[in-house]
Amino acid sequence: MQYVRLGRTELEVSPISFGAIKLPGISEDEAAECLNRALDLGINFIDTARNYRDSERKIGLGVGHRRDEFYLATKSSARDYDGAMADLEKSLDELQMDYIDIWQLHTVSDEETWQKVMGPGGALEAARKARDEGTIGHVSITIHRAIGVMRKAITCGEFETIMLCYNPLDSENVAAEGILELAKEHDMGTIVMKALSGGQLAYPKDQRIPGLGGPDAIVAGSLRWVLSHPAVDIVIPGMQAVHEVEENVALMDPFEPLTDEERQELVQRLAEHGGSYRYEQQCLRCGYCQPCPQGVPVPEIFKAVQIVANYPDDLKYLGYDLYESLEVGADACVACGACLEKCPAGLEIPELLQSAHETLTSRA
């Protein structure tokens, strides 16, 4: 395993790390087997959260006896001081540990939430106190979609790492908006979640096609895509089977960035794979359909639908807000067909735009 410096935390961590979000879906024994195999193969960073159900408890039970072999990150979704402190105490209790390496303010994904956690009596005050008392080592933040909040989090100097979504679809625009590069400029560690788009960027289990360095070409290609970005430090795919751990770690033996030819192959595979997941996720965000004669921003519209369809209920508004912010809506499509021959995924874009408009104008 190769190791990288996680920004100014100075922690040396494995680029492929262990995302524990899926541990609630398996037994304690299965979780222990996966976690121990990960440590045996050189993974030394485990990421979880207070609201990942029993994930923290399974980590404590499974690898608590090997605590000196890994760095641990967990999260609190509390917005105020008291709630965050209560979350921290509960996390330590569930983990059966007395120290957390990186404590993250979770899903600070709009301006209102940002103001709450940063203001007097906010969660940041709890993080500072816990760090001063030695209960945690480093203060971090996780953000979905909110580019403006990401910029504030990076430049304010309070946070040492940032967790954000990035994958070949770049559905949250972090690469297009230069967020990863900005974090690197400020020596902030970058932790990538949703590298496989919540498990969507994978072939069905019984239809896996090998390639791009792994037994599942889309998984291997997507993880290599993420780690090929020079401003990405680590990626934390959710894992719940030993074979997933072994296959992901194998990509680091040694790690090879995607070549231009492999990038094209991945795009083609994603296009071919599109029929096996929902239409709003078939869009590759490649922009080949642009410019539209009517000015319809097709990739942004399909991105908004993806958010509404797949984000938690308390974040779906981000998709509606995105759509409302667009100067031209899906209803401007006149079905001229100019986009059809250019779409590598073969999407019936005019029909999908009509459906998208209905979805995105039905906010409750």
Tell me, yes or no, whether 123 and 203 share the same domain: yes
DSSP conformation letters of 88-154:
HHHHHHHHT-S-EEEEEE----SHHHHHHHHSTTBHHHHHHHHHHHTSEEEEEEE-SS-HHHHHHHH
**Per the structure block, which two tokens stand in for 108?**
């600070």
Q: Are residues 314 and 243 in the same domain?
A: no
Average pLDDT on 260-273 reads 84
Query: What is the rounded average pLDDT of the residues 94-104?
Result: 97
- Shared domain for 231 and 149, answered yes or no, is yes
Residue 103 sits in a domain whose CATH number is 3.20.20.100
270 lies in a domain?
no
Q: Are 314 and 199 in contact (CB under 8 A)?
A: no
Same domain? 219 vs 298? no
Taking the CA atoms of residue 50, residue 15, residue 128 and residue 77 in that order, the dihedral angle to the nearest 10 degrees is: -30
What band does 277 get if pLDDT is binned at 50, 70 and 90? Answer: very low
Range 217-236 average pLDDT:
96
User: Is residue 126 located within the same domain as residue 223?
Assistant: yes
Position 274 confidence tier, pLDDT thresholds 50, 70, 90: low
| Each residue's pLDDT tens digit, 201-222 | 888 778 899 999 999 999 999 9
Overall average pLDDT of the 327-346 stretch: 86
Which residues constitute the domain of residue 328? Answer: 278-360
Same domain, yes or no: 137 and 61: yes
Q: How would residue 284 be classed by pLDDT, with cut points 50, 70 and 90? A: low
CB-based contacts of 117, cutoff 8 Å, min separation 6: 79, 105, 108, 123, 124
Q: What is the pTM of this model?
A: 0.79
- Percent of the chain at pLDDT above 70? 93
Backbone conformation region of residue 42, classed left if phi is above 0, alpha if psi is from -120 to 50, else beta: left
- Are 85 and 109 found together in one domain? yes
> Taking residues 133-154, what's their average pLDDT?
95
Choice among 133-147, 265-279, 333-347 with the minimum mean pLDDT: 265-279
Instruction: Give yes or no: residues 72 and 156 share one domain.
Output: yes
What's the whole-number mean pLDDT along residues 81-98?
97
